[in-house]
Structure 1
Amino acid sequence: MTPSSPLFRFLPSRLLPALLVLALLLPLPLAAQESTPVIGARVLQEAWSDPLEALGTLRADESVTLSATVTDTVVEVNFRDGQVVEAGELLVRLQDAEQQAQLRVAQALRDERRAAVERLAQLQSRNLAPRADVEDARARLRQVEAEIQGLEARLTNYRVRAPFDGVVGFRNISVGSLVTPGTELVTLDKVDVMKLDFSVPEVFLAILAPGLPLTAHSVAFPDERFDGVVESVGSRVDPVSRSVTVRAELDNPELRLRPGMLMEVVVQRSPREAVVVPESVLIPSGDRQFVLVIDEADDNRVERREVKVGERRTGQAEIVEGLSGGELLVAHGVQRVREGDQVQLLGIADDTTSVSEILAAAREERG
């Protein structure tokens, strides 16, 4: 309606200024606006924990250096460098010919005295030999049997066997080498399970307990993660560093981890179920945080909602208040969207679909 409209000719002149102001205030028709394209992300509910980082050193589950206990020469070496051996397997044998001869002499004497006991026992049963002679013969038999046991025990010192399953170290002895008590023959480590010792500040002592899960990384295997659990917490706090030693266990079925390796440890303390979102959905405003929630039931209309953020980790944030699992948020395109806008959802980014894949699919669809 304009001043030249026929309607104005029939209105009193005193009403014309008010009608002009009213016409200016009335909104003009707006052209249909296109929905803003965005990429969404689902609110997840998953396992969460507060990481505690430390450096640790690996130790073998069992470790021993096998040494000689007698003086003699090596006559047999039955292992190779780095060989996996079983408990009881013979590794090194020393010259024991003299001890074997002494054992055979004692065994022959045992057979002789056993026969004497049997003869005297028969005679005594017919009252042809005194009972005292039989008892003396039996005592002499027990004596020689004890000597045989001693010789057999000493013979074990000439055979070095693996006390447990494990991996032997380098072979530094050869056949013919003369060894003496204390001479190191070979090392043996049980490494299918590794002990990981690391220190943490005493302020975390209250939350450390056996069973806490952890992960460990090594520069030798940068793309791999080794999972384990805390087995025990040290009984003493170092008065200088004010730290406590923690021991964990890592499975090592492929025997790639070695004693002495440096490991980066992340203890998963306070494990819990948490509401988790990508950090890209957060909109900071002063000391407050907001997100844009897409209402799928209302034609993808956007609601701006304040949330309370808990702990953070790389690329993710814990939401302790304001969201529930399964809700859909604006993850990319946040700066172009306002509350109440209707958005065009190009896709939902997750572990199986990346942002670049969603954008590529959208470009292809547009041709």
Structure 2
Amino acid sequence: MPLRHVPRLLPLLLGLLLVVAMPLQAQQPTAVIAAEVRLAPWSDPLASLGTLRADESVTLSATVTDVVRELNFRDGDSVEAGQLLVRLADDEAQADLRAAQALREERRNAVNRLSQLQERNLAPRGDLEDAQARLRQVEAEIQALEARLADYRIHAPFDGRVGFRNVSVGTLVTPGAELVTLDKLDVMKLDFTLPERALGEITPGLALRATSAAYPDTAFQGEIDTIGTRVDPVSRSITVRAQIDNPDGQLRPGMLMNVAVEREARQAMVIPESALIPQGRRQFVLTLEPSDEHRVTRREITIGARRQGEVEVLDGLDAGQLVVAHGTERVRDGQPTRLLGILDESTSVPELLRQDRDDAGANG
């Protein structure tokens, strides 16, 4: 190296020597958020797919041949039990009823006259009995006509919501012609199947949750109402029927539902799922030692079932230990840490981070 460059390199060389000669500075503790290994009720749900049905459902149809005279609903209306929905033209039936009523009056008068005559022994008793029989006959005919007239008026058999009407005023309908559907939707029936081996774990009244692709963020609560009496010999499954309240009318018959039946709960050790450090098929966590600057120790654990945001720990941890739930990617085994807080039902990661920033600003 030419000597003329030596003066220029001297400051750099002196700086390097100073860096080497200085003692190593202690590492600044890394800020982490912890969670406590806690004992909590845990239930492994039985999962299935189910189909919704209305609590009550009927297709209203005509039983006589005639023209639609009146429609007292619109598509999708909520109706009450007994409400008149459809009236067919009944002019001919009404005329037959009036004729029968007039004949009844005539025969009633005849019976009254014969009764008076028979009391004075001026008429044979047989004539009076024949007249009374003819009166009973016409009264029976009137009852039949009144029942026939009821077929011209179609009422709602229960409270519910009508679907699309398939006819208009003036349409000629025949027996069996579908007029409108009616569904009771305040409570829904959910039919699904479970494996035969689950028979010993389910009972009527057992709680369940159901979700739908239409409402992915809403869990509908219900309970098992009836368990089928037969096991399918092919699929080895049993049909179960549950009831789900539907006060807002969100659910519809025919919807596909994801069902999770809550089995009897057990006590389990639980940690946040965010504390897991997966490595192949193995799972690790970082535990904290409060008596030693919250120093980190990497530990392998055995996990069980999972649920939203939480995981069951089968082995490797004890209840009450602290594990790193936020910041696992920034610390290594053996490092000290600065604990920002412990997650629980009353705290969250954003709140703890915000509090740390506020404290740092106040101290700065």
Q: Same fold (TM over 0.5)?
A: yes
Aligned counterparts, 1:1-367, within 5 A: 37-43=31-37, 46-121=40-115, 132-272=126-266, 274-281=268-275, 292=287, 310-318=304-312, 330-332=324-326, 336=331, 344-367=338-361
Deviation, 1:155, is 0.9
**For 1:113-141, what per-residue CA distance to the aligned partner results, in whole angstroms no more than 9, with x for missing partners?**
33444454455556665655544443333
Query: What's the counterpart of residue 25 of structure 1?
Result: none
User: 1:277 aligns to what SS in structure 2?
Assistant: strand
Q: Point out where structure 2 has 5 or more consecutive residues left out of the alignment.
A: 1-24
Structure 1 gaps of 5+ residues are 1-30
Q: Could you say what the CA RMSD is over the residues aligned between the two structures, in angstroms? A: 3.6
Deviations 1:303-322 (A, max 9, x none): 98998755322321335787
What count of residue pairs does the alignment treat as equivalent?
Answer: 333
User: Counterpart of 1:227 in structure 2: which amino acid?
Assistant: Q
Greater Cα offset, 62-71 or 310-319:
310-319
Question: Which amino acid counterpart does residue 233 of structure 1 have in structure 2?
Answer: I
Aligned equivalent of 2:11: none
Please state how far the C-alpha of 1:153 moved relative to its aligned partner: 0.7
Alpha-carbon contact 1:307-1:319 (below 8 Å) kept: yes
Task: Return closer, same or farther for 1:254/1:98 CA change in 2, 3 Å cut-off.
Answer: same
1:192 partner SS: strand
SS in 2 for 1:87: coil
| Residue identity opposite 1:177 in structure 2 | T
Q: Is the 8 A contact 1:294 1:329 kept in 2?
A: no
Instruction: Answer with 346-355 or 305-314: which moved more.
Output: 305-314
Q: Offset at 1:107?
A: 1.9
Counterpart residue identity of residue 55, structure 2? D
2:98 match: secondary structure: helix
Alpha-carbon spacing, 1:33–1:88, altered in 2? closer, same or farther (3 Å):
same
Q: Which amino acid aligns with 2:156?
A: A
**Equivalent-residue separation in structure 1 for 2:99 and 2:295 (angstroms):** 99
| Residue deviations 1:310-362 (CA, integer Å, cap 9, x gap) | 532232133578755x77655345685889x9975422223443213312321
Q: Which range is displaced more, 125-134 or 193-202?
A: 125-134
| Structure 1 residues 198-250: Cα deviation after superposition (integer angstroms, max 9, x where no partner) | 22333333323322211111111122111111222223333333332222221
The residue identity in structure 1 corresponding to 2:205 is G
Report how far residue 75 of structure 1 moved. 0.9
C-alpha deviation, 1:292, in angstroms: 3.9
* TM-score, structure 2 as length reference: 0.76
Q: Distance in 2 between matches of 1:121 and 1:266?
A: 77
In the superposition, the TM-score normalised over structure 1's length comes to: 0.75
- Residue type matched to 1:168 in 2? V
How far the C-alpha of 1:52 sits from its partner, in A, is: 2.0
More moved, 61-70 vs 232-241: 232-241
Distance 1:333 1:81, change over 3 A: closer
What letter corresponds to residue 364 of structure 1 in structure 2?
Answer: D
